[in-house]
Structure 1
Amino acid sequence: MQEAILTVRELTEQLRKSLEGRFPFVWVRGEVTNFSRPGSGHVYFSLKDQDAQLQCVWFRHMQRQTDQSFDPLTGEVFDKPRPSPLELLRNGLDVLCAGRISVYAPRGQYQLAVELVQPAGEGLLAQAFEESKRKLAGLGYFSQERKRALPRDPQRIALITSPTGAAIHDFLELARMRGSGSRIRLFPTLVQGAEAAPSITRALAEANAQNWAQAIVLVRGGGSLEDLWAFNEESVAQAVFESRLPVLAGIGHEVDVTLADMTADMRAATPSHAAQLLWPLRAELHQRVDETWSALRRAMERRLEMAGQGLRECEKALAWFSPQRHHERLYERLASLEAALDRAGRHWLDGKLQKADSLERALRSALGSEKLDIFNTRLEQLTARLQAALPRLVADKERALQHGILRWQSTARTYVAEQLWRFDALSMALEARDPLMPLTRGYALVSTSAGLVRSVDQTSPGAKIEVRLADGSLAAIVSSVQCAKNRKREKS
């Protein structure tokens, strides 16, 4: 539970990383309020509309808009330099601000770190971009549901770009160093100028027509909005939208977003980033192979261990239930009985000897030495007879045990033979009741579409019947029906 508790700094840091990662560069429009320019040279103000307000900071080192001979948003070149937005910025001015979202930790608030500022309503290309963006969004070009996943570590890529630009070199350089090896087919095209959009459209159509690649990569280096305008043409966005192959777009830098980027299945910040999205590092692939091999080896060892354990259990079960083991258990039982019989005999003999000694002492005290000698001689004879009879008794028990074993084996063989005879009898009875067995003796089964024909009343002249024989069937038509009482129905 303690690990889930964050400090204020930790939570603020996580929020900062999340916001900066989600909004690395955005354009925001609003009315300037709370404008302040202290002696540090930084500019602080807020952007507001009817429903919300956003804190902004324009650091001094980012205030580079001294040359106003062109529009930084659209790339439009002006006839006369225009005043710097820094000079025009004031409360109540409607402006467009570009920058990144960050979190100011001491106050715990998010803010826009401004990089570009210009009065709202300027730039024909920006207006055209927004109009096309709204139109294509309404047609579902930017819908996440229609976008497809790129193949992981693809082997065939169709690359659409200029063969002389820096983008192709950056892309190919990373492609050589990543992945498990891939073939790249270049579809050269213009990426700037009036003929660039038709050229890009034709290249996309050709790549789809060949149907060779697993994915299409559309890349270009950075530039102004005017330089990248070919990728904002609706014809290019439509070609990307209609592509049967997934399209990865890496156009310009991270701050450059075109209609082709938004329509593509996935957008890369740069051409190099596109290669990074397609192919993993080879070290990662090697590590994955090693992990897979280790997992396979562990699985194989576990499988072999389980199989060996099962085999050992089967061996124990087989050894326990085998006839040899059964005989061994009988011999062990016989040895146990022999030992018990020997102990009983010795115990009985010891008792008799003790009793004989007691009687001998009593006789010696009651009789003379002559009679004692006679009794001793008789006792020795009886002892000799007893010792001679004991082995015969053990032998009789062994013969009885062996006879029991033979009777058990004979009974088992008789039981198995009876079961085999019963199985044969049941098999013969089953074969006798097989409805198809009479077909082998020349009989036939007659059926119609309604089922098996059991009576002549179930059919009529002209009816189609099927005659099934042992080796096949015949299709026939009834020409006449003859009843058992010689009633005959002719075909009309």
Structure 2
Amino acid sequence: MHIFTVREITDRVKNLLETEFPFLWVRGQVSNLSRPSSGHLYFALKDNDALINVVWFRGSQRGADDGVDQLTGEIVEEGVSAAELADGLENGQEILVGGMINVYPPRGVYQLRAELVQPVGLGELHLRFEALKKKFAARGWFDQDRKRPLPARPTRIALITAPDSAAYADFTTLAAKRGLPARIRVYASPVQGEEAPKALARAIRAAGRQRFAQVVVLIRGGGSLEDLWAFNTEEVARAVYESPIPVLAGVGHEVDHSIADMIADVRAATPSHAAQLLWPERAQLMQETDELEFRLLGAITRRMDSLETTLAQQERGLAWLSPASRLAEREQRLSSLLNRLQTAGALIPQRIDAQLCRIEDRLFRANGQERVERLEYLVDGLADRLSRGGTYALGHCAAVINSLEARLAGADPTAPLNRGFALVRATEQDGGRFIRAAGDVQAGNCLEIIFRDGAVDATAQQVRPGEGLPAAYGTEPEDEA
């Protein structure tokens, strides 16, 4: 008994197929179309019962020269060259493929290697898809003005997908690595097959009724138009349109488009992209936090500096304008005047005595004894007058000083407080001015009443002009000294 190696059996199958089918035409609907960077096209032809893989190499995607195909010699109508057909080929399109059956040994599968491709028309599913697009567009379900933005960094997510799918794994893996912690409630549903449309619509409506989530995420991995058809049905489209919660749809890969994608508030290219749209990277969040902290500290520092500057200015202004400062300034001036007066009073007698001694000495030298005695008598009289005049002058200065002291004491606004009087002034918000008359107050004004031993905050209830003290007491305040 001969035991075949894998390569031997594959080679025999390859020789058998390539000998049996040297060239043939196959009609079917394009599915699972892939366009790698090499320029080759990989897709499947399918009908209701079966599927065959097709490879269309870049070298075979050549157009007609002068309207004649170089392989078959047939005349090709303008505008339907193979190159143009390759560029516009899409899933759901029905085509005729001419080529050879071969086997690809590394994978052990047979495939059709296309040499000629001709369009037949769009497949049934593709036509239904276009009809649904027109129908929903006419209803306004695709309008941008009805779509809502996603919440910023949501913490409650309603995830609708198959829990055992790659889309679920991709989304939850990225969700665990991005943003802040969030709760994800999974609404399990098949995403392919006859039961999928009703199950998906039911899950979307359940998420809307429960109002748990801030956003509904509808995801599925890539596939053919048939695989994604559940997301093109009217049941799912209506559920997405009527959802009271914003819907983020990530169905298929970037090249796939479904009706649910078009109606959803936001479309993601892939399930992983859906997670990226919801949450930023944690490194970005940490950087934003550091920047906000730096800006906050800077703002606090600038605010404190500004307040300290304002406080210092107000303290200097208060020191110049306060009654205590004015009283201290006048006391200092009075003390200076007293010192000058005392100094001048002590020097005058000394100067007079010295002058008298000089005069007496000159008289003795210039005159005889009798004349000197007469002059002495005259001098004694003058000295007595001078003494009386000096005493009177000093008494007058003392009286002036006493008068100044009395006026200065009368100008002290705090002196009447010791006799039971009080000072009334406006609050700081109204300027802090002292109230001198009833006309300076309006009903509702906030006042501060200052007593000897404290202060009282008050509010003016009513102003009664002319109802103050009797006329004998209604004197005007004296001007300050």
TM-score for the superposition, normalised by structure 1: 0.58
Q: Is residue 76–residue 226 contact of structure 1 (8 Å, CA) maintained in 2?
A: no
Q: Which residue of 2 aligns with 1:89?
A: 63
- Partners in 2 of 1:227 and 1:327 — Cα distance? 97
1:182 aligned onto 2:182? yes
Q: Which residue of 2 aligns with 1:62?
A: 38
1:240-255 equivalences in 2 (<5 Å):
240-255=240-255
1:397-476 equivalences in 2 (<5 Å):
397-408=400-411, 427=464
- Partners in 1 of 2:463 and 2:232 — Cα distance? 86
Q: Is residue 247–residue 264 contact of structure 2 (8 Å, CA) maintained in 1?
A: yes
Q: Which residue of 2 aligns with 1:215?
A: 215
Quick one: structure 1 residues 251 and 363, their matched pair in 2 at CA, closer, same or farther if it must change by over 3 Å? Answer: farther
- Partners in 1 of 2:226 and 2:364 — Cα distance? 144
Quick one: structure 1 residues 306 and 346, their matched pair in 2 at CA, closer, same or farther if it must change by over 3 Å? Answer: farther
The CA deviation string for residues 185-230 of structure 1, in whole angstroms up to 9 with x for no partner, is: 0001111122211111111011111111000001111222221222
Identical pairs, percent:
38
Quick one: structure 1 residues 306 and 390, their matched pair in 2 at CA, closer, same or farther if it must change by over 3 Å? Answer: farther
- Partners in 2 of 1:280 and 1:293 — Cα distance? 19
Q: Is residue 208–residue 244 contact of structure 2 (8 Å, CA) maintained in 1?
A: yes
Q: Is residue 438–residue 465 contact of structure 2 (8 Å, CA) maintained in 1?
A: no
Q: Is residue 155–residue 214 contact of structure 2 (8 Å, CA) maintained in 1?
A: yes
Task: Report the Cα offset of residue 145 of structure 1.
Answer: 0.6
Q: Using the TM superposition, name which of 415-424 and 245-254 deviates more.
A: 415-424
Quick one: structure 1 residues 421 and 277, their matched pair in 2 at CA, closer, same or farther if it must change by over 3 Å? Answer: closer
Quick one: structure 1 residues 172 and 328, their matched pair in 2 at CA, closer, same or farther if it must change by over 3 Å? Answer: same
Quick one: structure 1 residues 82 and 415, their matched pair in 2 at CA, closer, same or farther if it must change by over 3 Å? Answer: closer
| Equivalent position SS for 1:70 | strand
Quick one: structure 1 residues 384 and 301, their matched pair in 2 at CA, closer, same or farther if it must change by over 3 Å? Answer: farther
Structure 2 unaligned blocks of 5 or more? 1-34, 68-77, 90-116, 425-435, 442-460, 468-481
Q: Which residue of 2 aligns with 1:270?
A: 270
- Partners in 2 of 1:265 and 1:151 — Cα distance? 11
Q: Is residue 161–residue 188 contact of structure 2 (8 Å, CA) maintained in 1?
A: yes
Task: In structure 1, give the amino acid aligned to 2:194.
Answer: A
Quick one: structure 1 residues 401 and 197, their matched pair in 2 at CA, closer, same or farther if it must change by over 3 Å? Answer: same
Q: Is residue 69–residue 77 contact of structure 1 (8 Å, CA) maintained in 2?
A: no
- Partners in 2 of 1:151 and 1:252 — Cα distance? 23
1:238 aligned onto 2:224? no
Quick one: structure 1 residues 202 and 328, their matched pair in 2 at CA, closer, same or farther if it must change by over 3 Å? Answer: same
Task: In structure 1, give the amino acid aligned to 2:228.
Answer: L
- Partners in 2 of 1:422 and 1:232 — Cα distance? 80
- Partners in 1 of 2:118 and 2:63 — Cα distance? 9
Q: Which residue of 1 aligns with 2:477?
A: none
The CA deviation string for residues 390-415 of structure 1, in whole angstroms up to 9 with x for no partner, is: 86565433312122234446999699
Q: Which residue of 2 aligns with 1:173?
A: 173
Quick one: structure 1 residues 383 and 139, their matched pair in 2 at CA, closer, same or farther if it must change by over 3 Å? Answer: same
Q: Is residue 222–residue 252 contact of structure 1 (8 Å, CA) maintained in 2?
A: yes
The CA deviation string for residues 222-271 of structure 1, in whole angstroms up to 9 with x for no partner, is: 22222122212232222111111000111111111211111111111111
Q: Using the TM superposition, name which of 316-325 and 194-203 deviates more.
A: 316-325
- Partners in 2 of 1:128 and 1:421 — Cα distance? 88
- Partners in 2 of 1:60 and 1:422 — Cα distance? 90
Quick one: structure 1 residues 352 and 211, their matched pair in 2 at CA, closer, same or farther if it must change by over 3 Å? Answer: same
- Partners in 1 of 2:393 and 2:133 — Cα distance? 116
Quick one: structure 1 residues 416 and 154, their matched pair in 2 at CA, closer, same or farther if it must change by over 3 Å? Answer: closer
Task: Report the Cα offset of residue 285 of structure 1.
Answer: 2.2
Q: Which residue of 2 aligns with 1:197?
A: 197
Task: Report the Cα offset of residue 341 of structure 1.
Answer: 4.3
- Partners in 2 of 1:422 and 1:269 — Cα distance? 74
How many residues were matched structurally?
352
Task: Report the Cα offset of residue 274 of structure 1.
Answer: 0.8
Q: Is residue 45–residue 54 contact of structure 2 (8 Å, CA) maintained in 1?
A: yes
Q: Which residue of 1 aligns with 2:286?
A: 286
Task: Report the Cα offset of residue 162 of structure 1.
Answer: 0.6
Quick one: structure 1 residues 375 and 222, their matched pair in 2 at CA, closer, same or farther if it must change by over 3 Å? Answer: farther
Quick one: structure 1 residues 410 and 272, their matched pair in 2 at CA, closer, same or farther if it must change by over 3 Å? Answer: closer
| Equivalent position SS for 1:148 | coil
- Partners in 2 of 1:304 and 1:118 — Cα distance? 79
Q: Using the TM superposition, name which of 196-205 and 300-309 deviates more.
A: 300-309
Q: Is residue 93–residue 119 contact of structure 1 (8 Å, CA) maintained in 2?
A: no
| Equivalent position SS for 2:253 | coil
Task: In structure 1, give the amino acid aligned to 2:242.
Answer: E
Q: Which residue of 1 aligns with 2:163?
A: 163
Task: Report the Cα offset of residue 80 of structure 1.
Answer: 10
Q: Which residue of 2 aligns with 1:324?
A: 324
Q: Which residue of 2 aligns with 1:26?
A: none
Q: Which residue of 2 aligns with 1:139?
A: 139
| Equivalent position SS for 2:217 | strand
Task: In structure 2, give the amino acid aligned to 1:219.
Answer: I
Q: Is residue 158–residue 186 contact of structure 1 (8 Å, CA) maintained in 2?
A: yes
Task: Report the Cα offset of residue 282 of structure 1.
Answer: 1.8
- Partners in 1 of 2:143 and 2:198 — Cα distance? 24
Task: In structure 1, give the amino acid aligned to 2:171.
Answer: F
Quick one: structure 1 residues 353 and 282, their matched pair in 2 at CA, closer, same or farther if it must change by over 3 Å? Answer: farther
